[in-house]
Structure 1
Amino acid sequence: MIEIKNINKTFGDLQVLKNISLTIEDGEAYGLVGPSGVGKSTLLNCLAGLDSYESGSIIVDGVPLESLGEKQARLFRKNMGIIFQNFSLVSRKNVYQNIALPMECWKVPRSQIKKRVYELAEMVGLKEKLMARPAELSGGQKQRVAIARALTMNPKYILSDESTSSLDPSITVSILNLLDKIRKEMGITIILVTHEMPVVQQFCRQMTIMDAGTATVSGDVRELFFQKPPALQKLLGINEGETIPKSGVNVTFGLAFDTLLWELGKLMEKPYKIINSDFFEFQNQKHGNVTININAEDLPVCENYLQSRGIVYRTERRAL
């Protein structure tokens, strides 16, 4: 179990973490959620032992991190697997060598390294790519290499920092399914930093929403999406007093599959507002309709996408 108690962290005159407290149970799929620049990655780095903090305490399995000496801290980090957004693979090394790298640093015998690399490559679906270099791999394959590498030392915790934000929606779904399989089969706690709501809804069971260095709300993902507290409304683009825009086009449709809203936003390459929803979505289950407001010039892209998916919709043009 991880207990984070009243953590404060500054960079120069800027306080990036302000009295953060939360608890993460063993085996959990936990999300640290919020827009860029609110302190999510900094908190993750403190948890991984990569960053220090001025006050407060992080207690992992009963041990306060701030009490560890240099040697103890190094041993602690052995129990933390980290997955980064940009994969962080060594370009001159092949897949086998990238997966093996942590074990080589810990001077694991070569015979054990070979066995472990092949086990993990098969687990993540890259057994046929072991001799390939990162430049020859797709984004999803690179992230699978990073996942395998993070698992080499049999960690109890996996820390994932925006590890899906550079991937296509369909690839993201497959990566999240892989992480969930690993979590369930290996009993690993996975803490996922993300700003993407579809990722939270598909993968996370508990979450903390962060804003300006503070933990604004924490709790069960299903309950939070049902209750929609102000912090979540802000992330979803639902602003008090602006639920019915006076311009643009309102498009109402039923949700047909997990990544619909996300894919639609990426196709239009600009943000839209969710102005009304009478559905609840969690762990790939959803019901009801949603209404979004888009610019009029984006309507053809939106309509073509919905029609290609066979989704029934209606539009309402708004005028100033």
Structure 2
Amino acid sequence: MASHSDANKALDLVIIPRTSDLGDNFEVRRALPSKQRRMVGPFVFLDQMGPHVFSSGDGLDVRPHPHIGLATVTYLFDGELLHRDSLGTVQPIRPGEVNWMTAGRGIVHSERTAPEVRQQASSLFGIQCWVALPQTHEETEPSFAHEEMHKLPVEEGEGISARIIAGRFFGKASPVPTLSEMFYADVQLQAGARLSLPAEYAEQAIYVVDGTLDLGSDGSFEAGRLLVLKPGKSVTLACRGARARVMLLGGEPMDGPRGIVWNFVSSSAERLQQAKEDWKQQRFPKVPGEVEFIPLPDIPGKPVFYP
């Protein structure tokens, strides 16, 4: 039986991301999916990119690859990336802006450091998420939306700045065209600042980007931790130290299980298999001006579906 103090705690679990090196010491930390928790609301994937400094002449090169059944959400704290996709979009993304790409029935994109940025040393630090689409929208037409920093609403308080990247939170709504009830926010806290996080959605989590976050009786947490809250529990965030930066994310539970196979998300095992075969046979649309692509990896076994 849980103790009285445990019942008062807001934190359900702490996820320490898996770290992988993509080469040149460029690290990616994957918080979702994990063995402990596969989804938070519609969020099925969360990667921290960097922080990293590329030498002059170097940069990131993520060759064209496909997606179905999800929206990719790219948000940078530092540096710049150039997005290209099979719709013909060519869009640089810079800190504080958001790229929201709805894959729907199928899209292909690349993410690279632009040639002009490679002319000198450059930094890169950001988060990329995947948001699963509702079943009624899994096969929607692919689309792309980019919103500049000044168009994203900001909630401010004493020592606090919270930018609403997508969805609704703190009574404010982002212009990004989401397809489900969700929220995603970039929160910066100065020394001594405190922020009450209400239980607005059934599933909510906090990703610590920088500094140390104090959650009172739940403890303090350093950067690189995904803190998943218990349903219906509000919590007060406090900055321990000079500053802290966190991402708030979550939403309503998905309308059924989802499977992830490579870059594909779907409620249907048959659809995932079709996507694999379509990419193998190069039946997806091409990214204009790109000839490279990431081959389909060897994926053994059947997809695992999880709520």
Please confirm whether the aligned pair reaches a TM-score higher than 0.5, indicating the same fold: no
**TM-score of Structure 1 vs Structure 2, range by shorter chain:** under 0.3
TM-score, scaled to structure 2: 0.24
- Identify, as 1 or 2, the structure richer in helix: 1
Larger-gyration structure (1/2): 1
| Structure with more strand by fraction | 2
